Amino acid sequence: MKNEAASVSRKRSVEVIFRGFSMKARRRTDVHRACTVTRTGIAASARGSGTAPPHWLDERRLRLYPLAALICYVILAMGLIVRRTALHQPDVPPLALDFLPFWSASYLGLHGHALDAYDVVKLTRIETVVEPYMRDLNGIMPWLYPPTMLLLVLPLGWLPYWMAYGVFAIAALLLFVRVVRKIAPWPQAIWPILGFPGIALVLVAGQAACLTAGLAGLSLWLLRRHAGWAGVCAGLLFAKPHLAILFPLAFLCCHAWRALAACLATLLATWLLSLVAFGPDTLLAFLHGVQAAQGTIAEGQAYLFRMPTVFIMARMMHAPIWVAYALHAVAALAAVAVVANAWCKPCAYPLRAAALVTASLLISPYLYDYDMVWLGLVIAWLCVHGVAHGWQVGEREWLVVLWVAPLLGLVVVDFVGFQFLPFVTLTTLVGIHLKIRSGAQAVLAPPIGEATS
């Protein structure tokens, strides 16, 4: 009897051990399957299921079209350089002209003349020494950023102009690309990111939009992992306040108290540090400069075709200033309402993030086309949601529209005389809001601040 009992016990032990190995193997298989789906999400959705036909935007096109765009960017840039340096055509502007105020302001700040950065006459003197083209420019290149932005770019003044631009552009580009890759980690995503026209526009203009977009995307990516650091990124984003004001609202709506506290603390610290470093008069000079620029834009004395806002759309249609402001206020309030709804109610986190980024482009009446690089974040978040929950008809085609939108705004708007980009942004936000309302295959967003892998 004892031998039989021992034999039965050994058999049961062996069965338990094999059952454990089998369960572990199944778990490993499930994890491997999940990772495979994540890595090949875009390609799989392009191929279609067994019942649905393959989508035209397959893996080959995701690689081919952006690569062709990259080649075109290089050819155009080289053409501009040759025309300016070898052929000496004076009407060809230099690349990265908008970087002049950044470097000139940082140079003045380093030499104890930060207040002069807000003096157009004194700033233009520095800009003309750096770039003689400024003598023939029919206009000015003022410094219209708060002292906090001057604090961020101050180290650039230690470097020669073109070296400073190279460091600035590469660092901002790497930040933006890295953040978008974190959001959309599929191997196939790298070519659409690198070929994104918004990046090319920022680099040619010499602007800081890749930096602001990188900070915004990093803040949203960190929010569910390290809420405090997410708040720090959002606080630094207030170097361009008109793009940042919805982030504290989102943190408040989802009760992300740690992120909200870190955001406000960073904002307060950077403002105090900049005012101590440069003096309180720089704040007054900044406000005065912004007011003057608003008047110039409202009167139509700027490149309105490069400003994708509801206000500018109305002004280009010859609406009175008060009507244009009223229409823009309605659009901005609607954007605030969409963000509040998305971040107060449970919904898929990628939709929350996409709503916040899209709405941020609708707040200020004075947005420029290079800020449309933020649409890269919207595309990434919507891809994450589409791969996870499936695509509705026309969604991927609309992502293509968003991808080319910065280029369309630069090339088409001036030609047709109508600023249509606000319709693109508004339509995107409406589509996100409808997906949130319908709850189509939505997954509840996990608690903010809780670490997730």
**pLDDT string in tens for the chain (453-residue length):** 444 444 444 444 434 433 443 444 443 444 333 333 344 444 444 444 445 577 777 788 888 999 999 999 999 989 888 888 777 777 778 889 999 999 999 999 999 999 999 999 999 999 999 988 888 777 789 999 999 999 999 999 999 999 999 999 999 999 999 999 999 999 889 999 999 999 999 999 999 999 999 999 999 999 999 999 999 999 999 999 999 999 999 999 999 999 999 999 999 999 999 999 999 999 999 999 999 888 888 877 778 889 999 999 999 999 999 999 999 999 999 999 999 999 998 899 999 999 999 999 999 999 999 999 999 999 999 999 999 988 998 999 999 999 999 998 888 998 898 999 999 999 999 999 999 998 744 444 444 443 333
Q: C-alpha angle 79/176/390, rounded to 5°?
A: 110
Distance (Å, whole) CA 385 – CA 389: 6
User: For residues 382-403, b (16+ Cβ closer than 10 Å) or e, as one string?
Assistant: bbbbbbebebeeeebebbeebb
- List Cβ neighbours of 78 (8 Å cut-off, separation of 6 or more): none
Q: What is the pTM of this model?
A: 0.85
Nearest to 217 by CA among 244, 197, 256, 254: 244
What the block records as the tokens of 246 is 């919805």
Q: Where are the domains of the chain?
A: 59-438
Q: Could you give the count of Cα atoms lying within 13 Å of 284 in the half-sphere of its Cβ? A: 3
